A and B are shown apart, each in its own frame.
Chain A
Amino acid sequence: MAVSEAVVRAVGLEKRYGLRTVLRDVSFELESGGALVVTGPNGAGKSTLLRLIGGLAAPSRGLLEIGIERRRVGFLGHEPLVYRELTALENLDLYGRLYGVPERRERIGMLLGRFGLWEARRQRISSYSRGMTQRLALCRALLHEPDLVVLDEPHASLDDDGLALLDAELGTLAAAGKTLVVATHDPARVAALATGSIALGHA
């Protein structure tokens, strides 16, 4: 039987902001192709843990090993990480250039079509609804076909169509052997994909 290697390994992870500890003694291991579901109440440190895994913050204590190059991580945060005065096409084209996405225009067109944003591709993001912005943020996170996909409450702001699209996309990613980390308040929604879970409490 083939032994999967750990893509993410955390031992005694701790994160402090000043005197406030937001994450304390978190340990887990996530194998390649696995899906880790992170749950917990507001303020438990879910977003902080995902920022650490995404490489956007450094742990204050403990060990965090990411076995994937930084640019092979796809990250969806609370913010869409796009420019509000650019259009969807312009935002994705910028990120496509930075990630060095091959056949960028075809990939952008395919994602915008899949997430139902093709008709609105030339609108500025400042005119988008929250749900449309979340769909675009998902397009941005998946644009470069990342190997490790880190999603912080991806279901937030989506309507029923958007939720169905996201569920289908998560299933596709899991079937393609991508490694997933999903923070959610609705663990039942991703239970079928999960290979592991962490329930965070207040530190």
Chain B
Amino acid sequence: MTAYLGDVAALARKDLRLELRARDTLPAMALFVVATLVVFHFALPGGASEDAAYGLLWVALVFTALLGLGRAWAPESEAGALDGLVLATSDRSAIWLGKALATLAFLLAAEIVALPAFALFFAPLDGPALLGVLLASVGICAVGSLVSAMAAAARGREVLLPLLFLPLAIPLVVGGVGSSISPEPGAYLAFLGLYDAVFAILSWAAFEYVVTE
């Protein structure tokens, strides 16, 4: 177990180091989410309900995550490094978990920019809504890291990733919007927690087959 967690930490740290060096994912995500919120700010008619604005926030977050996931496996694809990791790790699922944690760090960083911008343009988020964002982000990165690995190994990855990811993200959007606008957000938060647990276990178990030809 210690070796497994050591592998996960080393892999996640490697992704953070690559991003600090190249800066080709996080700035793009932050700029994209802010630009999207600005567009929504002007697109939403005056007098529109706050509920509609919360819906647009989730559209912005899901597509921002998609942007990050599209780049997630690029360093592994460039020089065949994924094969090296497959050979070297004690358990191949560590590769998925390391990638999911690094992607989560990037998404949370983008949300640290996005949520104040949303509060500025629309309305601030309360506690349950923030918890909903956190839980949904975990789910997005768990399932997104798996499907982006599948897409990275295929031709037409730019098309395949949204086709695989967006249907799986619909429950997260439902849970996230519900936790933002419902007077009783507990059920939605529990739903998001359940989604995270189920899809994290499925992704963890399935990754072995994704990286084996």
Contact = CB atoms under 8 A, between A and B. Distances in A.
Interface of A: 51, 54-58, 70-71, 73, 75, 77-86, 90, 94-95, 97-100, 125, 140, 144
Contacts of A97: 6-7, 10
Nearest to B18: A85
Contacts of B80: 77-81
B14 A70 contact: no
Interface string B88-123: 111000000000000000000000000000000000
B192 to A, nearest CB: 33
Nearest to A51: B213
B84 A140 contact: yes
Contacts of B17: 86, 90
B79 interface: yes
B83 interface: yes
Interface string B34-78: 000000000000000000000000000000000000000001001
Contacts of B6: 97
Given A51-B213, A85-B21, A97-B10, 6 more contacts: A58-B212, A81-B81, A81-B87, A94-B14, A98-B7, A98-B88
A85 B18 CA distance: 7
A37 B125 CA distance: 65
B187 interface: no
Contacts of A84: 75, 78-79
Interface of B: 3, 6-7, 10-11, 14, 17-18, 21-22, 75, 78-81, 83-90, 212-213
A193 to B, nearest CB: 23
Nearest to B7: A98
Nearest to A48: B213
A56 B87 contact: yes
A83 B212 contact: no
B85 A56 contact: no
Contacts of B87: 54-56, 70-71, 73, 75, 81
A84 B21 CA distance: 11
Given A71-B90, A85-B22, A97-B7, A57 B213 contact: yes
Contacts of A94: 10-11, 14
Nearest to A52: B213
Which residue among A51, A75, A94, A95 has the maximum number of chain B CB atoms within 10 Å of its CB? Answer: A94
A94 B10 CA distance: 7
Contact of A56 (B75, B78, B86, B89): B86
A81 B78 contact: no
Contacts of A71: 87-88, 90
5 contacts: A75-B87, A81-B80, A85-B21, A97-B10, A125-B79
**A-B pairs, 9 with minimum CB distance:** A79-B80, A81-B84, A98-B88, A57-B213, A97-B10, A81-B80, A80-B79, A99-B88, A79-B79
A95 B79 contact: no
A77 B22 CA distance: 26
Contact of B10 (A81, A82, A98): A98
A73 to B, nearest CB: 7
Contact of B83 (A77, A85, A90, A98): A77
Which residue among A55, A56, A58, A71 has the maximum number of chain B CB atoms within 10 Å of its CB? Answer: A56
A85 B3 contact: no
